[in-house]
Structure 1
Amino acid sequence: MSAPLDLPKWADTVLVPAISVVAAFLVAGLVVLSIGENPLTATRHLLQGSLGTGEGLGFTLFYMTDFIFVGLAVAVAYHAGLFNIGGEGQATLAGLGIALVLNNLTFLPGFLLIPLGILGAAAFGAAWAAVPGYLQAKRGSHIVITTIMFNWLASVLIVYLLVNVLREPQSMNPETRAFPEQAYIPFMHDIFAAFGVEIPASQLNLTLVLALAASYFIWLLIYRSRLGYAIRVVGSNPTAAVYAGISPARIIILFAGALDGLFRRAVAHLFARQKLARA
């Protein structure tokens, strides 16, 4: 068996992602072509809708914020040697944590309520991720299987809670009551307007800045801290980690699970919405 190919840094950073994007467009183009449509026309509409207008760009960045948080969560777990695909369920529970905090601590000012909401999302997402982590670390179950199962459990749980527990009695919609106004994170178009700059209105808000700051924090954590080193050692060689005095089970349950809960997509935009509702 041949040794793995060691690519130059520039190729690993630029060339491989570029080839991946081109390959994705080619495969998608073949799918579009197979249903009798023009792939070039579909690509033009895709780019115009997402990047061709100020409003479209704002919504693209808004949804990109989601993927930044999810990517960070998956990256931390991946460095610990875990392939966690339970993001949907963990995001659902993180959103539940936000809703419970915001709707039960309405007497607090925004500068306290917003951080507490983020902590609530982290706690609920981490608790949901910690169970598959525990089963992997202590019982030998496969985290891919358990996280898939927990996605369905979270879906059933949130439907039950929104319909039977959290729903306002006079409403037929499966959603919580409106979040307090002091918990809303400002929209970017409102912030720019305060400085005399007009940009198209969209759902893009200050959580994009939080996502970028979180990206830098995760880089520092993984590559510039003792904890990050322990996570990478466990992911690279759990046996060597044990000899170095690092507990793989502790890393899996406490660190990877907690960080995964912290950066769930619910943190990205639920503060910009009035309610938590079942899509």
Structure 2
Amino acid sequence: MKQLLQAVKRCSTVAAVVLAAVSLQPAGATAVPNPIVGGTDADEAEFPFIVRLSMGCDGTLYRKNIVLTAAHCVDGYAPGRNTSITVTAGVTDLESPDAITRTSAVIYPAPGYDGLGKDWALIKLDKPVKLPTLKIATDTRYNEGIFTIAGWGATTEDGEQQRYLQKATVPFVSDDACQAAYNGDLIPDEELCAGNIDTGGVDACDGDSGGPLFRRDDAGAWIQVGIVSWGQGCAEPGYPGVYTEVSTFAADIARAATRL
């Protein structure tokens, strides 16, 4: 397992069956009062495709009735028909009276997910939301440059989750540099890395799991290239964030969404 004593799945809950430093199974676990480290408030309606999940993770609207998130966020929830998850959408302030809420109808974790790679999942909603969706990368051409991250997770390591959506930018980190940082634990074909590897200071953190790593495409539209997955602490120098490489699984995601 990825540096079990140190690498942290970026959910806001901690599984009772693993060491306290590691968050792997959010469902049924004890909530940790833990968005983005080094970020700023997102503007209202700036990222209308980002949603909050009731277990303490984030996600994006892949379709108007389907959320794309991390598999470790739904680990412990029964796959298939499941109404256990509440999705909050359409606001940056989670306490806003304008918030749109939906309930999960079907949970679909990536086939073969075992905690190592393949960290994606789909949640079908009980009914669609009238909000923009976020397209996903289908090849690797956008897997570089400067990315945006956003979420409601902790702003400091071991900090509290946020009421207001936060945003920040992080640069691409090469596979070689990320492999060196994590002693070979990166799965290059399934994961990519981003962050200020020399200085730290900006990163996704606890409660940001499942949220998007995204950037502008050649036409100026937002495109998702990664899913917040894991990392050593939050914004620590020498340890970039690790994200599920969306383009690797784009065809699988599309097929699964069609079947839901």
Work out whether the TM-score is over 0.5.
no
Identify the structure with bigger relative contact order (alpha carbons < 8 Å, sequence gap 6+). 1
**The structure with more helix, counted as a fraction of residues:** 1
Which structure has the bigger radius of gyration? 1
| TM-score interval, normalised by the smaller of the two chains | under 0.3
